[in-house]
Structure 1
Amino acid sequence: MSYDDAIEALSTDALKFVKDDFVVGLGSGRAATAFVKSLSSFIKIKNYNIKGVPTSLQIKLIAEKGGIPLAEADQVDHIDVVFDGADQIDSQRFVIKGGGGALLRENMLFNLAKKVIVMADKSKFVKNFTRTVPVEVHPQARNLVTNEIKKLGGKAELRSIDRGYPFFTENGNIILDCNFGVIKNPKMLSQKIKQVTGVIESGIFIKKPDVIYRAKAGGKFDIV
């Protein structure tokens, strides 16, 4: 049994946070995909009337295929609970997201939600953040933001896809993956990044999860 088995198991366990008539935020990535598939079966068995709010086209298509009724974030005034994955989680329970490029919509749902549930495998947990921070940026602000990131002690690299073409988010923006080394004060860094003109969103999420699932080897998981 592997981390994938643990992700499947915790996705099923996390369904206990879903109640009838809930508005449910649907995050992006591997763990969120597993949860959406579990949710699809769950609401049919329970005959629940829920509404899902997807953070990406990928998740929207999976949810539609599973028969989950959907709404956009601007069509709801709250989210009862959001389920999402993480790229890294530090000892202060801050989260880095944006590896898939959906950080703006994911952070919107984090802040709309009454309860935030994060699901990640054991390898994503660290004392201090060490990975690059995705920063969503208006295309015309690339040079400006790159220079400002340097002043903050970081090195920004434009995210690219095949043949060197820039990666564009579903919002039409670019992503700068910013290396700051070891990050000991993520809240302050995120605030400084978001003050830069041209920055749309920072991949350091300031709102901390209410519940964090940790997938382990052997198909096991715990809540931290």
Structure 2
Amino acid sequence: MSDIRNIVVLTGAGVSAESGIATFRGPGGLWEGHRVEDVCTPEALAADPDLVHRFYDLRRAALSSVRPNPAHEALARLDRAWAGGLLIVTQNVDDLHERAGATRMLHMHGALRQALCAACGARFAWADALPPATPCPACAAPALRPDIVFFGEIPYQMERIEAALAQADLFVSIGTSGAVYPAAGFVRLADAYGARTLELNLDRSEGSDWFDESRLGPAGTLVPQWVEQMLNA
């Protein structure tokens, strides 16, 4: 591992599941009791803004009752101690990576504790309920919405992610299903650029065959073990 300098880490729902946050899809294709199409598309927001805003209000409020787990804490330790390049890309919209202390990271699918103005594009930290037609603090338009990347919208900071993958010596995917693109394609992009690829997951994912190595088990166990290995190589 001594030849590894630049690392890109992708985290998914399996990292936060051990903190008590529901994974993306449950039985029957439901997302925390709702069809994804009813709460996570631009069409849903236009058709029933009360439902969509209430759904994210509840998810935002639930963050106060959860805490970072050993996987978040281990990645924050890596962030503090790794002398080379590091980018943690999370598909999760919770703030558990930040609360654990990670700073070299980005939210490609948005963040629950942020609001986005659909009129002017301004973003704001937001911890409370966000009713439909809440006025934007910047432009006053009644257009604030959850700062969440809905299906059909382009994930955030893709150019930065792709640039990091181009420079990566190691790409690590943690707790992801391998089913949601474009994140599911990162392993092949990293491989094409010459990076080693490692999957840490509870079970084999749809993309497991693309990785050089897969380690199966709980993120709270595997991630601290891997971080220890990297920092003591």
Given the two structures, how large is their TM-score scaled by the length of structure 2? 0.36
Q: Which has the higher strand share?
A: 1
